[in-house]
Amino acid sequence: MTDLAIRCRGLVKRYGSEVLAVDGLDLDVRRGECFGLLGPNGAGKTTTVEILEGLLLPDAGDVEVLGSRWTSGATALRERLGITLQETHLPEKLTVEEVVRLFRSFYRRGRTVDEVIALVQLEEKRRAWFEKLSGGQKQRLAVACALVGDPELLFLDEPTTGLDPQSRRQLWDVVVALRAAGCTVLLTTHYMDEAERLCDRVAIVDHGKVIALGTPRELISRMVGREVVEFAASHDGIDEAALAGLDGVHSVRRMASGFALTVDRVHVAIPSLLALVEAKGATLGRLSTHSATLDDVFVALTGRQLRE
């Protein structure tokens, strides 16, 4: 038995003749890890996930999920997966309990209805209709429907998009608990903080390809450095070349107004930056530093902001 929950090679999916949604994507997800597919809207995340889930047929490529292929024994494979779609409209006038019972009935074995409702903390809402739930509660019910079969592999497609911060945190708690219980999780998100918080490893996807892969810490230190310094200065003499020569500066990027420097040691970089500013006779418009995030990784890789 392979230790990979998902293995896919050379995945290609076209919509019509124009749009190449997935462009030769490779992916390995290990058993027991929480894996994040990160990317902007339209990067091909959802298409990739739906191919892995057996809901879409790829135009080319090879997909293996839990050691099986979708071409044989699909129903048996479905028994072992839990899936949430990007948006789920469950029956409006069914209660939480009725919806969970309906989905439980599709699986031969799995958790009890009470267990699942407790897992997603919807005990108080069990007799409320789906249409009366808040966005966060609806999303947790969608996750509950994915958990009824006690899946080995759970797919979560943008589970917290559009939710308020408290609902996001509640959902994260559910994912952390599942992950701790040994469930493999593949989630897509365009929230970098979500990926940093939940994922053991992430793949950054853009234009249907994986452009970076690793743990969130690895990606940040490899691509960006540890800190980002942003500033604006009122002088033409301060340019990329001058900045790149400063002590401790990794890379320089010109922004709409001012520059962003990625640095390893902020206590070395800042004094040398200030010295440069003074030498040129310029004044600083603003100066700020923050720890590098996956957002900075994405910008460093593509030159674009993630959420545009």
Partner 1 sequence: MSSALWQLTLTRLRSFVREPSAVFWTFGFPILLIVALGIAFRNRPPEPVDAAVEAGPGAEEMRAALAAAPGVKARLLPAGEARAALRTGRAAIVVRPGSPVTYEFDPTRPESRVARLVVDEALQRAAGRRDPVAAVERQVAEPGSRYVDFLVPGLIGLNIMSSGMWGIGWVIVEIRQKKLLKRMLATPMRRGQFLFSFVLMRMAFLVVEVPVLLVFGRLAFGVPLQGSFALLSGLALLGALAFAGVGVLVASRARNTQTVNGLINLVMMPMFLLSGVFFSSSHFPDLMQPLVKALPLTALNDALRAVMNEGAGAAAVLPQAALLAGIAVVSFALALRIFRWN
What does the block give as tokens for 199?
Answer: 């994922």
155/135 Cα distance (integer angstroms): 19
For partner 1, give the closer residue by CB, 59 or 79.
Answer: 79
Helix, strand, coil share of the chain (percent; to 5): 35, 30, 35
**Residue 98 touching partner 1 (CB under 8 A):** yes
| Minimum distance, C-beta of residue 89 to partner 1, in the bound complex (Å) | 4
**Residue 81 touching partner 1 (CB under 8 A):** yes
| Minimum distance, C-beta of residue 52 to partner 1, in the bound complex (Å) | 11
Instruction: Let me know: does 43 contact 208? Beta carbons within 8 Å.
Output: yes
Instruction: Let me know: does 103 contact 145? Beta carbons within 8 Å.
Output: yes
Please select the residue that binds partner 1; options are 17, 71, 72, 105, rule is CB under 8 A.
Answer: 105
What does the block give as tokens for 179?
Answer: 């992950």
- Stretch 134-163 residues interacting with partner 1 (CB under 8 A): 145, 149
| Minimum distance, C-beta of residue 83 to partner 1, in the bound complex (Å) | 4
Order the strands of the 60-65 sheet from edge to edge.
19-30, 4-15, 60-65
For partner 1, give the closer residue by CB, 114 or 247.
Answer: 114
Task: Choose the binding region for partner 1 from 24-32, 33-41, 48-56, 117-125 (rule: CB under 8 A).
Answer: 48-56
Please select the residue that binds partner 1; options are 37, 53, 170, 188, rule is CB under 8 A.
Answer: 53
Contacts of 275 (CB under 8 A, 6+ apart): none
Please select the residue that binds partner 1; options are 106, 240, 278, 286, rule is CB under 8 A.
Answer: 106
Residue 146 φ/ψ, nearest 5 degrees: -80, -15
Please select the residue that binds partner 1; options are 3, 18, 92, 236, rule is CB under 8 A.
Answer: 92
For partner 1, give the closer residue by CB, 13 or 201.
Answer: 13
Please select the residue that binds partner 1; options are 25, 43, 83, 143, rule is CB under 8 A.
Answer: 83
For partner 1, give the closer residue by CB, 153 or 261.
Answer: 153
22/100 Cα distance (integer angstroms): 33
Order the strands of the 184-189 sheet from edge to edge.
81-84, 153-157, 184-189, 34-38, 201-206, 209-214
Task: Choose the binding region for partner 1 from 32-40, 49-57, 180-188, 238-246 (rule: CB under 8 A).
Answer: 49-57
Query: What residues are paired with 129 via a beta bridge?
Result: 95
Place of tokens 């019972």: 101
Instruction: Let me know: does 298 contact 244? Beta carbons within 8 Å.
Output: no
What does the block give as tokens for 125?
Answer: 């809402």
61/155 Cα distance (integer angstroms): 20
**Residue 213 touching partner 1 (CB under 8 A):** no
Q: How many residues bind partner 1 (CB under 8 A)?
A: 30
For partner 1, give the closer residue by CB, 83 or 269.
Answer: 83
- Stretch 222-281 residues interacting with partner 1 (CB under 8 A): none
For partner 1, give the closer residue by CB, 103 or 259.
Answer: 103
Task: Choose the binding region for partner 1 from 93-101, 195-203, 220-228, 267-275 (rule: CB under 8 A).
Answer: 93-101
Q: Please give the distance of CA 74 from its chain centroid, rounded to a whole number.
A: 26
**Residue 103 touching partner 1 (CB under 8 A):** yes
Residues that bind partner 1 (CB under 8 A): 53-56, 75-76, 78-79, 81, 83, 85, 87-94, 98, 101-103, 105-108, 129, 145, 149
